[in-house]
Amino acid sequence: MSFDLIYELLLGLLALATATWSVATRDSYSAVVGFVGYGLLMALVWMQLQAVDVALTEAAIGSGLTGLLLLGAAARLRKADARVTARPTRTLRAVAALACTGLAAALAATVLSLPQSPPSLTAAAVSALPATGLGNPVNGVLMAFRAFDTLLEKVVLVLSLVGVWSLAPELGWTGRPRLLHPFADDGVLRFLARTLPPLGLLFGLHLMWNGADEPGGAFQGATVLAAMWLLVLMAGLGEAPPVRSRWLRVAAVAGPATFLAVGIAGMGIAGAFLAYPEAHAKALILFIEVPMMLTVALVLALLVAGPPEQAPHP
């Protein structure tokens, strides 16, 4: 067994152990902390699989933002969850364990039966990549070959934000999202919230710009921007805008709207929806990515911030 394999085995086992603990532990808050740790281990696993873009996204969104969301919820629900004592009977749990083990075993057997060298689209992507002007093949897939998925995914994001907002109480609609547990008194947090965001802004923009040819891209850059804004909100240095504000609405739809507009223009200019004329492909993709990054950053942060609440009485 090579050293690499031992490392991978240990990493996988550690991730699995953390996940198991996250499912089994009684306290909900601990389960979320375990889940965040699991997410970071998964980012390492993705690095082992040579998928750097995915590792960045998993660390940022899968572990970071999701963890933030779940931590806030766990803090608010701690007492209520502790009062829940009903659990399925031992027999039911045993049956479920048996069924899930069986399913996992069948799945494992199926995975083992998959070909070691499957038919893949790598060669096709590499040969078609120069037409897009990009150097990062994953970004090529996201922004050119399967741009339709990316466009629709923006729509999914915006619609889920409207869905979260719709959960506000009737009068709360005029208010703004109030972040769970603002730590306005925390000196260290306020210091970080003053110094980090300008650096984070630069880093996020760099990630997006660089993502054309190196690992990175609009999603990863947007997550950094969202994290910076959330930091500012959590430290109490700023407030989320009211959900009815016009600029917020326009910014939220700017990303998908630009993408859609370029796509429809492509029907006339390049012959198909979401097709790019080869000479201007990279420029068009960057033109789409800038408002897209703004929208994604905004929506990701606001999804964590939650539904608006009624403005407190003066």
Partner 1 sequence: MPLPEALAAGPSAGGGWLVAAIAWPVVALLLVIAGGERLAARTGALALPVGIAIAIAVALDVANAGAGGLTYHVGGWAPPLGIALRADWLAAAMLLVTAVVATGAGVHALADFGPPRAGSPGRASLAFWASLLGAWAALNLAFLGNDLFNLYVALELLTFAAVPLVCLDGSAATLQAALRYLLYALVGSVLYLLGAVLLYGAYGTLDMGLLATAVRPEPAAWAAAALMTAGLLAKTALFPLHLWLPPAHAGAPPAASAVLSALVVKGSFFIVLRLWFEALPGLANAAAMQLLGLLGAGAILYGSALALRQSRLKLLVAYSTVAQIGYLFLVFPLAFDASTGRLAAGTALAGGLLQAVSHALAKAAMFMSAGLIAVTLGHDRIAGLGGLARARPATLLTFALAGVSLVGLPPSGGFAAKWLLLSAAVATGQWWWAVVIVLGGLLTGAYLVLVLMHALSEPDASAAAPRPVASWRDAAPLVLALLAVFMGLAGLAPFEVGQEAVAAQAHGAMP
Partner 2 sequence: MSPTTLYGLFGAALVGLGLYGLLTEPRLLRKIIAFNLVGSGVFLLFGVVARRGADAGLAGDPVPQALVITGIVVAFSATALAVALLLRLHEAGGGTTLDDDNGAGPDRPPS
Residues in 125-164 at the binding interface with partner 2, rule: CB under 8 A: 125-127, 137-138, 140-142, 145-146, 149-150, 153, 156-157, 160, 163-164
Return the number of the residue (200 or 216) whose C-beta is nearest partner 2. Answer: 216
Interaction residues for partner 2, span 22-41 (CB under 8 A) = 22-23, 28, 31-32, 35, 38-39
Distance in angstroms (rounded) separating the CA atoms of residues 218 and 150: 11
171 binds, among partner 1, partner 2, none (CB under 5 to 8 A by kind): partner 1
Residue 155 burial (CB < 10 Å; 0-12/13-18/19+)? middle
Return the number of the residue (55 or 231) whose C-beta is nearest partner 2. Answer: 55
- As separate numbers, helices (DSSP H) first and strands (DSSP E) second, the chain gives 12, 2
Position 88 contacts partner 2 (CB under 8 A): yes
Return the number of the residue (115 or 187) whose C-beta is nearest partner 1. Answer: 115
- Give per-residue burial for 253-282: e unless 16+ CB within 10 Å, then b: ebbbebbbebbebbeeebeeebbbeeeebb
Tokens (6 digits) for 186: 């925390």
Closest to 288 measured CA to CA, from 214, 197, 222: 222
Position 175 contacts partner 2 (CB under 8 A): no
| Bridge partners, 309 (sequence order) | 176
Other residues' Cβ atoms within 10 Å of the Cβ of residue 134: 23
In this chain, which of 130, 131, 167, 206 binds partner 2, going by CB under 8 A?
Answer: 167
Position 174 contacts partner 2 (CB under 8 A): no
Position 210 contacts partner 2 (CB under 8 A): no
Position 65 contacts partner 2 (CB under 8 A): yes
Query: What residues make contact with partner 1 under the rule CB under 8 A?
Result: 106-107, 109-111, 113-115, 117-125, 127-128, 131, 144-149, 152-153, 155-156, 158-160, 162-163, 165-171, 173-174, 244, 246, 249-250, 252-253, 256-257, 260, 263-264, 266-267, 270-276
| Backbone φ/ψ region at 216: left (φ over 0), alpha (ψ -120 to 50), beta | left
Other residues' Cβ atoms within 10 Å of the Cβ of residue 47: 16
50 binds, among partner 1, partner 2, none (CB under 5 to 8 A by kind): partner 2
Q: Which amino acid is at 274?
A: L
Q: Quote the least distance from Cβ 313 to partner 2, whole Å.
A: 19
Position 114 contacts partner 2 (CB under 8 A): yes
